[in-house]
Amino acid sequence: RNARDVQLGGLVGIALTTIFAGGISLLVVAGAQGLGKAGDDLAVLRTTSLMGSILSPQMERGFMFLLAVAAFPSACFSSFIAANSFKTTLPKVNPFITCGLGTAGSVALVISGYAGNAAGVFTIIGASFGPVCGAIAADYLLAGKGWAGPRAGFNPAGWISWIVGFAVGAFNFIPARPFDMPCPPVAAFLVGFVLYFLLAKAGMESRVLPMPGGEQPAAE
């Protein structure tokens, strides 16, 4: 409905649930370590595997349920944002198709077990969103430290920045790469920032659409 809904969704659906789930994990690992039931390999500490050694079966089931519930708000909120983004970027494509493809891809990742590879998943997230954040930062500075406003249709500066930035962020996934990319998410951010800045200066941004009402964006 308004900006407050988005802020509350982020605070409750992402920040609060992340802190809650992370807090449970910290308490479980600390408890297992204090009771001497964490095992010798401290590099592999799975919260779900340790709960049974320090909790009763009933409490273990309760905590497992709470962890599952904590995953729902952030998953639903991010899915809602993704659905809106697809609908805005591809208005002529049925949202059921774009969201359905995203859901099918997510299910495939979970079934295959790749979603459990946290390091790989976060590397892909960094490669995907690093250049986006870099482009947004560049657009923010170019607009006089404000939001320029929504842009019409296909924005070449944004898409080119994202494609090249993603390639840099995902560079270490190439099997026969000549070298390892240092800190890929940061490198992707920097590439997205620099490319968007240069492309915008070259006039490759799409035009800014007028806002239907409310506060006007910053003047370019």
Q: Write b or e for each residue in 118-143: b if 16 or more Cβ atoms lie within 10 A of its Cβ, otherwise e.
A: eeeeebbebbbbbbbbbbbebbeebb
What is the per-residue pLDDT for 213? Answer: 59
Exposure letters 43-57 (e unless 16+ CB within 10 A, then b): eeeebeebbeebbee
pLDDT of residue 167: 92
Helix/strand/coil for 166: helix
How many angstroms separate the Cα of 179 from the Cα of each of 68, 123, 133, 176, 201? 39, 17, 25, 9, 32
* Distance, C-alpha 100 to centroid of its chain: 18
pLDDT number for residue 216:
54
What's the whole-model pTM score?
0.59
Please report the pLDDT score of residue 183 as a whole number: 85
Calpha distance 25→99 (Å, rounded) = 31
CA 113/CA 31 separation, integer angstroms? 28
Q: What is the pLDDT along the chain (220 residues), one digit of tens a residue?
A: 677 877 887 787 778 877 887 887 888 888 887 877 776 666 567 777 777 777 788 888 887 887 777 777 667 767 777 788 777 777 788 878 888 888 888 888 778 877 777 777 788 888 888 999 999 999 999 888 888 777 877 889 999 999 999 999 888 888 888 888 888 889 999 999 999 999 999 988 888 877 665 555 554 5
Q: How far apart are CA 204 and CA 196, in angstroms?
A: 9
Q: Output the pLDDT for position 76.
A: 73
DSSP assignment string, 102-114: HHHHHHHHHHHTG
The answer to whether 134 and 188 have CB atoms below 8 angstroms apart is yes
